[in-house]
Amino acid sequence: AYAVGAEIHDTIMMAKILNNIGSIWYNRLDFEKARSFYEKSLRLREPIRDSVGILSSLGNIAMIYEEEKKYQKALEIHRMILESQYSKSHPIDIITSTINIGNLELKLKNEKSALQWFEKGLVLSDSLKRFFYTTQISQSLARYYYSVGDYKKAFGYQQQLIALNDSILQESSRLNAQELEARFQNRENEKEIALLNEKNKVTDLEKTNAELELRQKNNTLWLIGALGVCGLLLAMLLFY
């Protein structure tokens, strides 16, 4: 596939393939090879200004550094990603970056900075009603307060996390129930339509049979009439 992309000069295809190969090595925990392919993908994307692809490659490289516990390098990349997201006004991506930066600051023992990033992400997530991200931030805040020894707040955020997860689960269950009900109703409607079609077929058949029977009766009457006329003509010839 990479050779095909090179042959037709499809740089984006080549970059995606390199990125995918990097992900394969990442899943095999060979972070050195994974980073090598992510960086190759990045080098292809930069000259053509593939902004989405560039951020994807940078995020993957930062993920490798984090796995290697090179938190400062990972943090620098995530700050770079966030600057790009601010310029493009992508609020959901900004929330993700605030979580990533906050978690890295916490790993670097920069607790005050970590808290500021978590709070920024929480405000944005709540304003957009993105509860999935709110759960992630609540989890990070629980870890933060636990790390600084404020176990009461850590417990509070942990309880909030449980409540949010229950709410999301209930909403998911409600949507699933609605989907099941809609599918059941559609199936019942399909059965009714099929039954009506069968009834219509029977009605059409009965109508066709009635028309055929009437036609046969008319033909019989016409034949009897014709025979009668022929008999009358024959009698007249015989007697006259």
Taking the C-alpha atoms of residue 88 and residue 94, their distance in angstroms, rounded to an integer, is 10
What is residue 110's predicted lDDT score, i.e. its pLDDT? 94
CB 96 within 8 Å of CB 133: yes
Q: What count of residues does the chain have? A: 240
Tokens 């790009």 sit on residue: 84
Taking the C-alpha atoms of residue 182 and residue 172, their distance in angstroms, rounded to an integer, is 15
pTM for the model: 0.62
Taking the C-alpha atoms of residue 201 and residue 195, their distance in angstroms, rounded to an integer, is 10
What is residue 153's predicted lDDT score, i.e. its pLDDT? 87
In degrees, to the nearest 5, what angle opens at C-alpha 138 toward C-alphas 79 and 85?
25
Other Cβ atoms within 10 Å of 64 Cβ, number: 22
CB 71 within 8 Å of CB 65: yes
The list of the chain residues with pLDDT below 70 reads: 1-9, 89, 164, 167-210, 212, 214, 216-240
The structure tokens listed for 83 are 């600057």
Taking the C-alpha atoms of residue 74 and residue 80, their distance in angstroms, rounded to an integer, is 10
What is residue 175's predicted lDDT score, i.e. its pLDDT? 46
Taking the C-alpha atoms of residue 30 and residue 126, their distance in angstroms, rounded to an integer, is 38
Q: CA neighbours within 13 Å on the CB side: how many for 163?
A: 8
Own/partner contacts of 156-163, CB < 8 Å, gap of 24 or more, are: 161/135
Tokens 């009900």 sit on residue: 181
Taking the C-alpha atoms of residue 85 and residue 87, their distance in angstroms, rounded to an integer, is 5
The structure tokens listed for 68 are 């290697």
Taking the C-alpha atoms of residue 135 and residue 165, their distance in angstroms, rounded to an integer, is 7
Taking the C-alpha atoms of residue 12 and residue 50, their distance in angstroms, rounded to an integer, is 8
Tokens 């929330």 sit on residue: 95
Buried b (16+ CB within 10 A) or exposed e, 105-127: bbbeebeebbbebbebbbebbee
